Amino acid sequence: MTAARNAEQAKVIPIESAPSWQPEPSGPALADRIADAVGGALAGPLGAAATRALGKGWEQRAAGGLSFLRRRITGDYEVDEFGFDRELTEEVLLSMLRPLAEKYFRVEVRGIENIPAEGGVLIVANHSGTIPLDALMTQIAIHDHHPRRRHLRMLAADLVFVLPVVGELARKAGHTLACGEDAQALLERGEVVGVWPEGFKGIGKPFAERYKLQRFGRGGFVASALRAGVPIVPCSIVGAEETYPMIGNARTLARALGLPYLPITPTFPWLGPLGAIPLPTKWTIQFGEPIPTDSHPPEAADDPMLVFDLTDQVRETIQHTLYKLLVQRRSVFF
């Protein structure tokens, strides 16, 4: 009995020595702890080193970064019904694309004044390059060069949104499925909407057919513009065709993988992962004069002849502009 009682007493932990339970820090508390820790580190010797390495003004950039981090942790940011996260797009996604546009492809933007300062507008562009980098470069070109820093809301294929990570990032960047309902909803809200009517036929065409526009579909983008009464701005992109010159297509393997095509280029798959690096071509993105649609009633979208004529007008405008830009171009890379 005595031994059993002693064993039970040995298991008893005095209250003052028992480990105290602490609740997990909430989002704001955790964000404040991180900010305090980083701020304390920068206030010490690390701050002097940062000044030497980053120059003056780094304190403001650091404060802005900490503020951004706090909002992400606490959930103090907004997304619209399409999933568009404006802050994440501006602070992270576009910042990652900007060096590619400015330093690598050295994109020259022309005719940005043809995009209205406000209200809905439909951007229609040629599509090329094996990987749709042209769409991303158009997005950053409009945001960085337009006086109102407008955001391009792209209409993308279903494949984009089933890809892991890529689909989520596309939603965060404000893009949506290439369907008439979403296109019209965005246009009626006054957004800049981008469409690439050639689709996979454009980006997956062989290098021998570069800068020759493929079929523009049935003109669904024109119908959406007519219903919303917004202008159509043709966009011509030169330089993307040569980033991944497609000299072959592994169709059998592409079908097995569920892909529209599987490109063979001078560097892929021969160089392995290095073959995925695009060639540093010099790009030009030119926005043409707007084609108005507000002179037509909304029901004109159901007139197949009118839709066909406007579709053909947009396509021919882009094609002729491509030819002019190619004549003016002195070099693919310089």
The β-bridge relationship of strands 232-238 and 121-125 is parallel
- Does pLDDT of 272 surpass 60? yes
Read off the pLDDT band of 297 (50, 70, 90): very high
pLDDT, tens only, 191-224: 999 999 999 999 999 999 999 999 888 889 999 9
Q: Which pLDDT does position 264 carry in this prediction?
A: 93
Share of the chain above pLDDT 90, in %: 66
- Does pLDDT of 148 surpass 70? yes
When the pLDDT of each residue in the chain is averaged and rounded to a whole number, the result is 85
Q: Is 284 helix (H, G, I), strand (E, B) or coil?
A: strand
Considering the entire predicted model, what is its pTM? 0.81
Residue bearing tokens 């050639």: 198
Find the angle CA(40)-CA(21)-CA(28) to the nearest 5 degrees: 40
Compute the chain's Rg from CA coordinates.
27
Query: Do the Cβ atoms of 314 and 223 come closer than 8 Å?
Result: no
Q: Is 230 helix (H, G, I), strand (E, B) or coil?
A: coil
pLDDT, tens only, 104-144: 999 999 999 999 999 999 999 999 999 999 999 999 999 99
Q: Which pLDDT does position 68 carry in this prediction?
A: 67
Which of 35, 144, 154, 160 shows the shortest CA–CA distance to 95? 144
pLDDT, tens only, 39-95: 555 555 555 555 555 555 556 666 666 676 777 777 667 888 899 999 999 999 999
CB neighbour list of residue 221: distance below 8 Å, 6 or more residues apart: 122, 124, 155, 183, 195, 197, 232, 311
